[in-house]
Chains A and B, each alone.
Chain A
Amino acid sequence: GQQVMQIPQYQHVQEGEDFTTYCNSSTTLSNIQWYKQRPGGHPVFLIQLVKSGEVKKQKRLTFQFGEAKKNSSLHITATQTTDVGTYFCAGSGNTPLVFGKGTRLSVIA
């Protein structure tokens, strides 16, 4: 079945450093979504990408969808302590949404 691989599993950064998490699918995706889950919280929808090569920005967050619609990335510029949490990509093709394993971000003040 469809698989969505996400790396790295963990990332520890100093406050102010940049952070990137990457997502790869074994099959072409119709769309990819990104969620953030704070410690002890629930996943919260951040954004959805649908078009090949699409780039979207939300303040310090930049999301990209690859040309082949098989990979995606989330980049955070100048991390803050409020960015702490696990970031999940979730993709779908002809299947229900499949979540990547997530990248757990720690920010050291």
Chain B
Amino acid sequence: DTEVTQTPKHLVMGMTNKKSLKCEQHMGHRAMYWYKQKAKKPPELMFVYSYEKLSINESVPSRFSPECPNSSHLFLHLHTLQPEDSALYLCASSQTGVSYQPQHFGDGTRLSIL
């Protein structure tokens, strides 16, 4: 069982659709992360929010737009995605945004772009 909850678990969308991924944690963590993971590859960091402020954007295309309305919730808004964006999108949280804090991952959203 994971303490970081992601919805939906699976998502199939066309390239012109707009959808959002949701992540939720109630561990009192103040840092939240979005990662992209392709098959047989390591997670790649996309965004980091620390105390609800975007602290890191790893040069992610603007078709991915993160939002962190409060310390418990994180969203990833998707718009006009490309087939190569198909991947597992993982949310994680840690106590603070300091890099030596262990990260707790959600089960991920498996995204397929048609």
Contact = CB atoms under 8 A, between A and B. Distances in A.
Interface string B5-20: 0000000000000000
A97 B99 contact: yes
B48 A100 contact: no
A102 interface: yes
B87 to A, nearest CB: 13
B104 A45 contact: yes
- SS of B interface (majority): loop
Nearest to A30: B100
A97 B100 CA distance: 8
Interface residues of B, number: 19
Contacts of A99: 42-44
- SS of A interface (majority): loop
Interface residues of A, number: 20
B99 A42 contact: no
B45 A96 contact: yes
Contacts of A45: 102-104
Interface in B14-55: 40-45, 48
Interface of B: 2, 40-45, 48, 56, 90, 99-100, 102-108
Interface of A: 30-31, 33, 41-45, 48, 50, 88, 92, 95-97, 99-102, 104
